[in-house]
Amino acid sequence: MYRVSRTSNQPPAPSSPPSALWLAPILVLTLSACKGLPTSPQAEVNCAERCPCECKCDQDKDDKDDKGDKGDKGDKGDKPLPTKNEPYPVFLAGNVVIAEGSMPLEQARERIVSERISLERCYSDALKKDTSIKGEMNVQFTVSAPTGQVIASVVRSSTLKDASAIERCLTDRIRAWTFDPHKGTTEAVVRFDVYMSGVTFESP
């Protein structure tokens, strides 16, 4: 015999309300994003989308703008370009010769090249007062072999007019140089040429 099942006409029992425990992770993630807790590196998104709660989006944007403005100022050590009426100093030193003594030529040449910027300031300062000053000089200095100290420095010849300030500045700076002691005679005499000129740039 077949049994006939009867379907119940009673409505299904209501399910229990959803537990609030599953909401806890969402709240924790939301609060951690707003409070600035450390998270894994992600792509930069809009602040308002990242923090649905109260965030200082405007303040963050202002801070980034301030940092960007500071970064656009460039290096402070950059040498500014001259204006149209301001000549640019050109200072060349070369033709180094050991006139007397046994001092290595390469040692004298390396020191003159390394101090070129320092010597150039003597000319650039004078060029600011007189933009027409230019010419050549032959400079000589004497080095003590046992100590390596420069004991004398003079300008042997010059084509510059009224260049006493430049000559005094150059010789004073050269007297402050020191070299490695070398064998041989007690003194070494070094000579080198200097060319100075102001170059003017025309504005477009």
pLDDT in tens, 46-97: 555 555 544 555 555 555 555 444 444 444 444 555 555 678 899 999 999 9
What does the pLDDT read at residue 74? Answer: 41
Please check whether residue 19 lies inside any domain of the structure: no
> CB under 8 Å to 107, separation ≥6 — which residues?
179, 180, 182
What does the pLDDT read at residue 182? Answer: 80
Whether the CA torsion 170, 173, 179, 181 is positive or negative: it is positive
pLDDT-based confidence at residue 113 (cuts at 50, 70, 90):
very high
pLDDT for 26 beyond 60: no
CA distance linking residue 69 with residue 19, whole number of Å: 52
113: its two tokens = 């090249």
Please check whether residue 77 lies inside any domain of the structure: no
Tell me which residue of 192, 204, 56 sits closest to 113, measured CA to CA: 192
Greatest mean pLDDT among 14-18, 43-47, 145-149, 191-195 lies in 191-195
Please check whether residue 8 lies inside any domain of the structure: no
What does the pLDDT read at residue 84? Answer: 58
Q: What's the domain range around 52?
A: 27-33+45-68
Angle, CA 170 vertex, CA 168 and CA 175 arms, to 5°: 95
Do 135 and 98 share a domain, yes or no? yes
Give the least confident one: 47-51, 121-125, 174-178, 187-191: 47-51
203 and 84 in contact (C-beta within 8 Å)? yes
Do 179 and 112 share a domain, yes or no? yes
| HSE-CB for 49 with a 13 A CA cutoff | 4
CA distance linking residue 153 with residue 175, whole number of Å: 6
CA distance linking residue 111 with residue 188, whole number of Å: 14
CA distance linking residue 47 with residue 58, whole number of Å: 9
CA distance linking residue 1 with residue 13, whole number of Å: 33
pLDDT-based confidence at residue 199 (cuts at 50, 70, 90):
confident
Please check whether residue 11 lies inside any domain of the structure: no
CA distance linking residue 89 with residue 125, whole number of Å: 9
What does the pLDDT read at residue 116? Answer: 93
Count of domains in the chain? Answer: 2
pTM for the predicted model, two decimal places: 0.57
Please check whether residue 38 lies inside any domain of the structure: no
Do 61 and 153 share a domain, yes or no? no
For residue 105, give the 3-state DSSP assignment: helix
Place of tokens 């809009």: 46
> CB under 8 Å to 153, separation ≥6 — which residues?
139, 140, 141, 142, 170, 171, 172, 174, 175
